[in-house]
Amino acid sequence: MTAETDANASDADSGDSLTLALAQIHVEAGEVEANVDRALEAVSRAADRGADLVALPELFNVGYFAFDLYARNAEPFAGETFGRLRAAAADHGIAVLAGSIVEDLSATESIETPADEGLANTSALFDAAGELQLVYRKHHLFGYESAESDLLVPGEHVETATVGEFTVGVTTCYDLRFPELYRRLVDDGVELVLVPSAWPYPRIEHWETLSRARAIENQAYVATINGSGEFDDATLLGRSSVYDPWGVPLASSGDEPALVTTEIDTEAVADVREEFPALRDRRL
């Protein structure tokens, strides 16, 4: 049993605020039932803390680095993992970013897909009533010492959703290295970007610098949700964090399991963009 620590911070004292929780759960390769149980427990704990929205890491059910288990554990969009998290969102009255699972596109119905077959790295955002608000399939598939780009097909669509007073977008892990995707989200009105991830050691500086840069250049909140755990060839570095529109870290964790919570405010986004209007000076 892996102990879980807590990290808390407070940012918003007034205005249209939202309490955000990042569930940095322990992920074991292929232990789907145990991993999903940890995710559900984290949702419950976040709700008990009064969170409005809780976000989970990338491939939290099977484990990102368990490449040989992707096909065996792939699920349709309406499969058990998303179904249980949808129900948990409704039961606890909290929005849940179930990010992400290996989706079997050939078995998925009624959800716009980028291919008729294959596997995708798919996140889903459910609101506090358990209703689906957003689907995101990872756009940039990692190829460096990784089988992801060989095993999965990339997503093609970018969606936004509303949680409280926030316009929310989602990207996934390696997407952090591609700033044009974040510009597209900002052009769509996004004020908070959730980034479920499975970022390993030793690239701590990349993880922290890229996340902070995406917040600074887009003058938006960026919340990075990493996992915790060891695989045969990699160890997740944790360090789930929330950055404000100035790039200031509001809350973060170490590399052990943790529930990171902080309060964020839509007025802060508008205030920063008004005080330092860099986005207005873009030349396309």
80 noted as active-site residue: no
Q: Which of 4, 58, 103, 148 is catalytic?
A: 58
Query: Do the bridges between strand 228-230 and strand 235-237 make them parallel or antiparallel, or are there none, so unpaired?
Result: antiparallel
Which residue's structure tokens are 């008990």?
48
Q: Which residues pair with 262 in a beta bridge?
A: 20
**Gap between the Cα atoms of 85 and 125, Å rounded:** 10
**Terminal-to-terminal C-alpha distance of the chain:** 52
Nearest to 96 by CA among 157, 6, 31, 161: 161
Which of 173, 191, 208, 263 is the catalytic position?
A: 173
The single residue of 75, 138, 148, 191 carrying the catalytic annotation is 138
**Position 33: which residue type?**
E
Helix, strand, coil content of the chain in percent (nearest 5): 30, 30, 40
Cβ neighbours of 64 (radius 10 Å)? 28
Strand spans (E) along the chain: 5-8, 17-24, 53-55, 95-104, 119-126, 132-137, 161-163, 166-170, 192-196, 221-225, 228-230, 235-237, 241-243, 249-252, 258-265
Our answer to whether residue 267 is catalytic in this structure is no
Structure tokens at 191: 């004020």
Sequence-distant (6+) residues with CB within 8 A of 71 are 102, 119, 151
Concerning whether 165 is annotated as a catalytic residue, the answer is no
**Of the candidates 178, 145, 171, the residue with the CA atom closest to the CA atom of residue 65:** 145
| Sheet order of strands, 249-252 included | 161-163, 166-170, 192-196, 221-225, 241-243, 249-252
Which of the residues are catalytic?
58, 138, 173
